[in-house]
Amino acid sequence: QVQLVESGGGLVQPGGSLRLSCVASGSTSSFHAMGWSRQAPGKQRELVAQITSGGATIYTDSVKGRVTISRDNAKNTVYLQMNSLKQEDTAVYYCYAVVVPQYYWGQGTQVTVSS
């Protein structure tokens, strides 16, 4: 059983930055992929970014150029560096890990972008 624990969320002003962290109970090098999704109030959960075991990354269009996903296998941790935050980035951010065909999810961390 994989357990994921997110941290790093909070309140930030527009234009600010946050770095989210997700620590996995297992070795991140054994996961086929890890990533972050988010869910804003009244909206469906959407993919934000993903990184595969080979290091390939994908980003949703709305965050490209502002967000970077990275992974530290030695620390079993995946990060989401978010810059130039906008009010529309406000959401609960969920970390996930994929061991095909199973997805594992963290409990989520709230990110609020507001002045």
Half-sphere exposure for 102 (CA within 13 Å, toward CB): 8
pLDDT in tens, 10-55: 999 999 999 999 999 877 678 899 999 999 999 999 999 999 999 9
79-83 long-range Cβ contacts below 8 angstroms, 24+ apart:
79/19, 79/20, 79/21, 79/22, 80/19, 80/20, 80/22, 80/36, 80/48, 80/49, 81/17, 81/19, 82/17, 82/18, 82/19, 82/20, 82/111, 83/17
pLDDT in tens, 74-112: 888 999 999 999 999 999 999 999 998 999 999 999 999
* The pLDDT of residue 63 is above 90: yes
The two structure tokens encoding residue 13: 């002003």
pLDDT at 105: 96
CA–CA separation, 74 vs 90, rounded Å?
30
| Opening angle at CA 113, ends 37 and 60, nearest 5 | 30
Mean pLDDT, range 55-62, rounded to an integer: 96
CA–CA separation, 9 vs 114, rounded Å?
13
